[in-house]
Amino acid sequence: MKDTAIIGNSSYAKSGGRLGGMSAAGVDPHPLTGELFVSPVPPGTGWPDDPADAATPVAQSAADVHALATSAHSLDELNARISVCRACPRLVEWRESVATTGRRASYAHEPYWGRPAASFGDPDAEVLIVGLAPAANGANRTGRMFTGDRSGDWLYAGLFRAGFASQATSVAAGDGLELKNCRIAAAVRCAPPANKPTTAEKATCAPWLDRDLEFAEPRLRSILALGLIGWDAAIGAARRRGWHIPSPKPRFTHGAEAMLTTASGRPIRLVGSYHVSQQNTFTGKLTEAMFDEVLARL
Ligand code: SF4
Q: What is the 3-state secondary structure (H, E, C) of the chain?
A: CCCCCCECCHHHHHCCCCCCCCCCCCEEECCCCCCEEECCCCCCCCCCCCCCCCCCCECCCHHHHHHHHHCCCCHHHHHHHHCCCCCCHHHHHHHHHHHHCCCCHHHCCCCCCCCCCCCEECCCCCEEEEECCCCCCCHHHHCCCCCCCHHHHHHHHHHHHCCCECCCCCCCCCCCCCECCEEEEECCCCCCHHHCCCHHHHHHHHHHHHHHHHHHHHHCCEEEEEHHHHHHHHHHHHHHCCCECCCCCCCCCCCCEEEEECCCCCEEEEEEECCCCHHHHCCCCCCHHHHHHHHCCC
Q: Domain 10-295 maps to which CATH number in 3.30.70.1350, 3.40.470.10, 3.40.190.10, 3.40.630.40?
A: 3.40.470.10
Is the Cβ atom of 117 under 6 angstroms away from ligand 1? no
Distances (CA, A) of 112 to 119, 121, 248, 293: 18, 21, 43, 35
Measured distance CA(129)–CA(48) in Å, rounded? 22
**Residue owning the nearest CA to atom 4 of ligand 1:** 88
165 bridge partner residues: 179
Distance 204 CA to ligand 1 centre (A): 7
Is the Cβ atom of 237 under 6 angstroms away from ligand 1? no
Distance 60 CA to ligand 1 centre (A): 9
**Residue owning the nearest CA to atom 6 of ligand 1:** 190
Is the Cβ atom of 233 under 6 angstroms away from ligand 1? no
Is the Cβ atom of 145 under 6 angstroms away from ligand 1? no
**pLDDT in 10s for each residue of the chain, 298 residues:** 333 335 555 434 333 333 333 434 489 999 999 999 999 999 999 999 999 999 999 999 999 999 999 999 999 999 999 999 999 999 999 999 999 999 999 999 999 999 999 999 999 999 999 999 999 999 999 999 999 999 999 999 999 999 999 999 999 999 999 999 999 999 999 999 999 999 999 999 999 999 999 999 999 999 999 999 999 999 999 999 999 999 999 999 999 999 999 999 999 999 999 999 999 999 999 999 999 999 999 9
Return the domain boundaries, the chain: 10-295
Is the Cβ atom of 116 under 6 angstroms away from ligand 1? yes
**Residue owning the nearest CA to atom 2 of ligand 1:** 205
- Pairing verdict, β 267-273 and 222-226: parallel
Give the ligand 1 atom nearest the CA of 95.
6
Q: What is this structure's pTM?
A: 0.92
What's the pLDDT at 26? 85
What's the pLDDT at 6? 57
